[in-house]
């Protein structure tokens, strides 16, 4: 395991390219999603060993459910299977997304909107499931208590992300936690998510050593 002098406390993960990977393998698009579960666990284990304190994984968005029903069912199941695997590890899990919709997997309701500790809970893991940036921000309008707007958004318990990693070569955030990503450094990996290897993480962290963190100052 490599070591780094400077480590991000919170890493966001956009695991893109599952469908394109499947097509390239001569498979159906739906076959790409289960192949993304293992890479997520491998990345989690690598970050845990490096001392990362918090990670946020993009599961699926409220826009993604516009895809064909077979694809929707496939990524819903992949999210459930991912959480079932994470339950075997030392994670402090928060599943974040619109639970009022029928597309939110009912198996994940016990972990939604409040943290659940598995094992020793060594790392905070946020999993965005049926998430929408508009839903996140508008949540504050219906649940406003005190303080600033950002104290009442749905994702208020998620800290600012130091770095966002996106697989699949596309250079956009796709509505990924707009408040927490406002000052994130973004590193794009051209390979598709199912082809994840730890070297991708090391390359991102090597690059991160050279970035400056001013937060606008």
The arithmetic mean of pLDDT across residues 8-37, rounded, is 98
Task: Judge whether residue 84 has pLDDT over 80.
Answer: yes
How far apart CA 10 and CA 162 sit, in angstroms, is 5
Summarize pLDDT for 156-195 with one digit per residue, the tens: 999 999 999 999 999 999 999 999 999 999 999 999 999 9
Lowest mean pLDDT among 38-47, 69-78, 122-131, 207-216: 207-216
Can you tell me whether residue 79 is helix, strand or coil?
A: helix
The pLDDT score that the predictor gives to residue 143 is 74
How far apart CA 93 and CA 171 sit, in angstroms, is 27
Which has the higher per-residue pLDDT, 107 or 141?
107
Summarize pLDDT for 130-155 with one digit per residue, the tens: 999 999 999 988 876 667 888 899 99
Percent of the chain with pLDDT over 90: 90
Task: Judge whether residue 79 has pLDDT over 70.
Answer: yes
How far apart CA 209 and CA 204 sit, in angstroms, is 9
Task: Judge whether residue 213 has pLDDT over 90.
Answer: no
The pLDDT score that the predictor gives to residue 149 is 81
How far apart CA 29 and CA 39 sit, in angstroms, is 18
The pLDDT score that the predictor gives to residue 1 is 73
């Amino acid at each position: 395991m490599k070591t780094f002098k400077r480590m991000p406390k919170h890493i966001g993960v956009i695991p893109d390219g599952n469908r394109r990977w499947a097509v390239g393998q001569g498979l159906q698009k739906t076959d790409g999603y289960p192949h993304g579960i293992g890479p997520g666990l491998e990345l989690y284990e690598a970050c845990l060993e490096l001392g990362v304190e918090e990670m946020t994984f993009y599961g699926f968005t409220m826009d993604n459910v516009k895809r064909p029903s077979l694809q929707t069912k496939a990524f819903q199941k992949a999210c459930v299977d991912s959480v079932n695997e994470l339950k075997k590890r030392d994670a402090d899990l928060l599943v974040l997304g619109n639970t009022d919709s029928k597309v939110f997997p009912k198996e994940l309701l016990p972990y939604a909107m409040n943290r659940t500790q598995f094992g020793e809970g060594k790392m905070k893991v946020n999993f965005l499931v049926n998430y929408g940036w508009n839903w996140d921000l508008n949540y504050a309008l219906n649940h406003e208590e005190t303080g600033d707007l950002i104290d009442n958004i749905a994702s208020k318990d998620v800290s600012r992300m130091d770095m966002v990693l996106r697989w699949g070569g596309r250079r956009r955030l796709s509505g990924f936690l707009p408040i927490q990503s406002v000052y994130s450094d973004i590193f794009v990996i051209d390979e598709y998510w199912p082809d994840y290897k730890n070297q991708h993480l090391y390359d991102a962290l090597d690059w991160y050593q050279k970035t400056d963190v001013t937060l606008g100052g």
